[in-house]
Amino acid sequence: MNRRAFSLPELMIVLLILCIGGMLVIPNSASTATIRADAAARILRADLEYAQVRTIANPDQPVALVVDDTGKGWWLADPGTPTVPIIREGTSEPYRVILGEGRAQAAEGVAIDVEQLPDGTLQFDTLGGIEGLAVDPKYSFRCENAEVQLSVRAGTGFIDVHR
Q: State pTM to two decimals.
A: 0.80
Catalogue all structural domains in the chain, each as residue range(s) with its CATH number.
30-162 (3.55.40.10)
What DSSP string describes the chain? -------HHHHHHHHHHHHHHHHHHSPPSS-HHHHHHHHHHHHHHHHHHHHHHHHHH-TTS--EEEE-TTSSEEEEE-TTSTTSBPBPTTSSSB-EEETTSGGGGGGTT-EEEEES-TTSEEEB-TTSSBTT-SS--EEEEEETTEEEEEEE-TTT--EEEE-
pLDDT in tens, 103-144: 999 999 999 999 988 788 999 999 999 998 889 999 999 999
